[in-house]
Structure 1
Amino acid sequence: MKNLYRYTFVAFIFLFVSCAKDLDFFSVNGEKMLDFQLISPASNDSLAVNLGTPNESIDFNWKATTSGLGSDVIYTIQFDKIDGDFSNPLFSKESNKNGSSNIASLTHQELHDLATSITPNGAYAKVIWTVTANNGSPNIVAAQFKHTVLISTSSNGLSKSELTFPTNNSYMLIDGNKAAEEYIFTWGKSNATDANENVKYQVLIDEVDGDFSKPVFSIPSDNSGLDNKLTKTHEEWYQLFDKKEYSKGAFKWTVRASTASISVEYPSSVFCLETTDWILPIYIVGDAISDIEGSSGWLIDQAILLNGLSPKVNAGVINFRNDRNNAEFKFFPKISSWDNGIAATENLSYIGNCEKGSNGNFVYTGDNSANVVYVNMQGKMVTVTDEIYLIGGSTVADGNMDKAIPFTYIGENTYQVFSYITTDSWGYKFLPTRSWNGGWGLTEGTTDKITQNNPKDLKVSEDGFYRVTVNFSDGTTKTEKTDWGLIGSATSGGWDTDSDMTLLPLSDNEYKGTYTWKITTDLTSGKIKFRANDGWAVNFGDTDANGSLELGGSDIEVSEAGNYTIKLVLDPAGYTYSMVKNF
């Protein structure tokens, strides 16, 4: 029985060893490798070889294979003629990382030598390529499909250099205070292997995650592309980025150098853009503009200035007419140039007396009158209006458009209104029409700057009778509480001391909506005027002696001494006064 066990065990060992040999159990050198495929260059791709950068490389890559038990795989890339079978390849080399990588980098010189070995005098050579994988066993695996590529054989080449300014990860500040100063992009020269070929440069600027296939800007360098620099003023750079609606952000740039036969791109650099202090004027011109005289208002050298209030916001008060040709107008950044005009487009909102016309022009739709022109390209709005209104819960108008209180134009791009304003409710705003469209309020974080872009409510700190002004020369507003008095040689205080007047309520303790001040006093023959807050900054007189008051107008004559009841009415419909002799 023991012998039987001994023979059985020996027979088992013999069978095990025999099977292990069949399965290469004691060695991983013969383990199976999975099939794999080539990736790029894809079949029928073209490769441009540049002998100006002979040591730069082009990557060939493929999907990696694996051994059954994870043994190391060594790859070899092979090239052959279009009708070859790789039995005697024209060129072969191990892949990167001593053959372990699924990428093989071939230099331009290697590819050029390969191509010229097939067609020494031709422009291109067509070759096939494949990859073999070897894990140390006799079982070498090749890629499932071969790829065909077309390689240029031109001896022309173009070297690359480096970008020098702005440097990588630098800060590009485009400053409105340096509008006329130059900001210059520079780089090293590229050299052609053919000395008779001119090298031209194109500066490409793209968003930081772009690949320059569709750059934000593509600009020839100075001297029609021949110089290795690009010169622009701060203002020119600002206009360039602003046209694409960039005011800040991360960008990258490169240079594309080209000859008639080849082009190269320099290694890119990143810069961070910021623009500051860009408040630029614009000009208005066209048949609708009254102050441009003649049969046509399209005289660019007579275009009228609109003040810069903030970046991309301009305003002014302009005299308009509707009786010349089509009453059209347009805006331009320079008085002497038709370039870069602001066109009427579908993307703009039109508020008040304007609408979109033909050929990018605006059409004036109002009467012959002075209008506020407020060009807000930041908010994509253009406002032209001959009225502005005060509205708000703190005024008698509340939110009722029909009761909105009209301002009065007093010259020098300034409007004013007098109103009783309270601290209750939500405050007040200004409107260009009797609607909420395009309303002005305070700019966030300021106390006097108006804006149409996310405007904040204005408020007062105490109830009172206020003079509110809006100045479209600088885009400011002022709300000043006023108390009124009578002064002059006919009063007891002469020209030195006011006699205080009293604001009349509409009813018991209801002052919203009242505009009337009153005083009963003795006067001698002489002269009087009305003034606010015991000062001369805001005063009224009667220039034409017709009962209508003008800001800073002439003295009012008192011809006869006596006791008078005098009323000052600062109604938006018209500023008037009355004098009734009691005895």
Structure 2
Amino acid sequence: MKKIFYSLLAFIVIVLVVSGCKKDKTLNHTNVSAVSTLFAPENNKFVKIASGASGSVSFEWAQARAEDNGLVLYEVAFDKEGGDFSKPLYSVPSDGNGLYNKLSLTFSDLNKIATAAGVKPQESGKVIWTVMSSKGINVQKSTEIRTVEIQRPAGFTDIPTELYLTGTATEGGDDLTKAIKFKLTAPGKFEAFTSLKAGTYHFADRNTGTPSTYSYDGTKLTEAGNTTVTGDAKVQRIEVDFNVASFKTTEVVSVGLWFAADNKIWFDLPYKAAGVWEIDGASIVFHQESWGRDERYKFRFTFKDAAGATSTQYYGSTNSDNSRPDTGTAPSFYYMVPVNNSQYDYCFKFTGAADNKTADIKVDFSGNVANYTHSVKVN
């Protein structure tokens, strides 16, 4: 019995020794050298990223050596000036999933790195970079560190998908839950029709919690802050483009129903709130033609820019010609899009029941509708 016990004990010892040797041998094979030299870009390289520009910067360095003469993995790390890369701002494997001793980094990624370093749009700032070499463990930091200066473009790196307007100058006041929603017109571009009064306002990427906020500083769109409004309350068209950090307000002087046969505005629709104009009990009388009764109409917006110059824009149908609507007409019939100033093209038509009646007419350019639209309710 003792012989069996000692034999078993000896076997276990042998297994442990062999396993330990294998483990030590495997760990030895993970040793790599640190990268000794960084080749490109040169130290203190200045990179200017233009708005909308596509491109990249090539980072290159000398190869590291592996103790087993095998492959080495590389990762490029970026940090703030004075940082030690223990918690880098940004790190990414080199080209070839970490196998190549070079990295092509896009302008978009460089913009993100500058943003993480606290560099604001249209400003420049410095970050440091180096290379880490390893076999997945036993990471070695390069003995060389270089600096790159990045000038950010006018636009933003993280562009919101929703945008709201809030503050004492807005219709919803400074209650975030009542903020005015913008309409997304294209990626990074927003538009809102609303009134502004004396006070302050800013933009938010959501209407709950603690959103990211933005404002216009007098020259460009920027992070945080507030924009001040003075003077009387006015209805405004506000356009914001995060791609180029642009901001524009245009006063909406009036919204009128333009009747094609009379070639004139029949009446203006009073502004209500939240991008809605509405008139109740408007008189509707079709125009008598030799062929019958003409019922065509569209809408004309009158704008005034910051310099005081006025302009007009017609909003009409997506179709150049239409039939009279009825109870089965699709909602898309009433969608409003910018059209030319021709007298009869791209007009809507009143329902036949509206002739010699009154109607409640509503134009909805709020951020809550998928498409700008209007409605006609015959009384």
Greater relative CO, 1 or 2 (CA 8 Å, sep 6+): 2
1 CA distance for matches of 2:91 and 2:190?
Answer: 46
Aligned residue among 253, 265, 280 for 1:498 = 265
Secondary structure at 1:238's aligned position in 2? Answer: helix
Distance 2:205 2:150 in 1: 33
Give 3-state SS (helix, strand or coil) of 2:199's partner: coil
1:464 Cα shift? 3.0
Q: For 2:297, give the aligned amino acid.
A: I
Q: 1:255 and 1:174, CA in 2 relative to 1: closer, same or farther beyond 3 A?
A: farther
Contact 2:78 2:127 in 1 (8 A): no
Question: When the two structures are superposed, what TM-score results if normalisation uses the length of structure 2?
Answer: 0.50
Kept in 2, the 8 Å contact 1:407–1:416? The answer is no
Give the counterpart of 1:529 among 298, 306, 310.
298
Paired residues for 1:174-185 under 5 Å: 175=49, 181=56, 183-185=58-60
Is the contact between residue 389 and residue 432 of structure 1 (CA under 8 Å) also seen in structure 2?
yes
Aligned to 2:103: 232
| Contact 1:428 1:458 (C-alpha < 8 Å) held by counterparts | no
Q: Distance in 1 between matches of 2:108 and 2:235?
A: 49
Taking a change above 3 Å as real, the CA distance of residues 235 and 517 of structure 1, as seen in their structure-2 partners, is same
- Aligned counterpart, 2:47: 173
The residue identity in structure 2 corresponding to 1:311 is T
CA distance in 1, matches of 2:179, 2:95: 57
Question: 2:74·2:93 contact (CA, 8 Å) conserved in 1?
Answer: yes
Does the 8 A contact of 1:545 with 1:556 survive in 2? Answer: no
* Closer, same or farther: CA 531–165 of 1 in aligned 2, 3 Å: closer
Identify unmatched segments of 5+ residues in structure 1.
1-157, 258-263, 280-308, 316-371, 373-387
> What corresponds to 2:19 in structure 1?
none
Give the aligned residue type for 2:255: W
Match of 2:335 among 526, 550, 556: 550
- CA shift for structure 1 position 555: 1.2
Please give the alpha-carbon distance, in whole angstroms, between the structure 1 residues aligned to 2:219 and 2:245: 12
C-alpha contact (below 8 Å) 1:490/1:558 kept by paired residues: no
Q: Which amino acid aligns with 1:173?
A: V
Q: What letter is aligned with 2:268?
A: M
Q: CA deviation at 1:183?
A: 1.2
Distance in 2, Cα, partners of 1:522 & 1:222: 71
Q: d(CA) in 1 for partners of 2:377 and 2:171?
A: 24
Q: Which residue of 1 aligns with 2:315?
A: 538
Separation of aligned partners in 2, 1:562 and 1:314: 46
Structure 1 residues 579 and 172: CA distance shift in structure 2, 3 A: same
Q: Does 1:485 align with 2:261?
A: no
Aligned to 1:394: 169
Number of the residue aligned with 1:463: 233
Cα distance in 1 between the residues matched to 2:108 and 2:186: 33
* CA 531–490 in structure 1, closer or farther in 2 if over 3 Å, else same: same
Determine if contact 1:206/1:215 at 8 Å carries over to the other structure: no
CA distance in 2, matches of 1:513, 1:205: 48
User: Which residue of the partner structure matches residue 15 of structure 2?
Assistant: none
Amino acid of the structure 2 residue aligned with 1:426: T
Distance in 2 (CA, whole Å) between partners of 1:531 and 1:243 is 45
- Give TM-score, length-normalised by structure 1: 0.36
From 343, 350, 362, the counterpart of 1:569: 362
SS at match of 1:249: strand
Distance in 1 (alpha carbons) for counterparts of 2:91 and 2:270 = 67
Residue 454, structure 1, aligned to residue 253, structure 2 = no
Partner SS for 1:242: helix
Which ranges in structure 2 are unaligned for 5 or more consecutive residues?
1-32, 120-124, 135-139, 288-292, 303-310, 338-345
1:272 pairs with 2:46: no
